[in-house]
Amino acid sequence: MPKKSKAGTITARATRAFATADVPRESKTIMEFCAAWRISPSFYYKMQEKGKGPRETRLLQKKIIITNENEAKWALECEKASAKECAKEAAAKKQAAATKQAARKIGHASVAA
């Protein structure tokens, strides 16, 4: 518990120490989320604008948090999206290679090398 000053109020130093204690938490602020995922706040807000960010919870219409559950769901969605993107990229590379191979067979000049 944070220390109280003689006046009975919690000191700022004690509050910071209490807030940064290594205690498991059920949610993160936007800044904590950005730090945990090593992304900038501007990138986070761009993701939110595109509808690709994690679901936010508003507390008392002021503080915004991201619950651990919503963070996990978001990470899973990102993983699925990444897998789909990789599959599309692999299919495009395969198609390009097949097209190049077909062009070589017919002796097209643009793929002589």
Residues 6+ apart with CB under 8 A from 38: none
Buried b (16+ CB within 10 A) or exposed e, 9-23: eeeeeeeeeeeeeee
**Beta strands per DSSP E along the chain:** 27-29, 57-59, 63-67
Handedness of CA 73, 31, 49, 80 (dihedral sign): negative
Per-residue pLDDT for 110 more than 90? no
What is the per-residue pLDDT across 23-81, written as a single tens digit (0 to 9) for each?
567 899 999 999 999 999 999 999 999 999 999 999 888 889 999 999 999 999 999 99
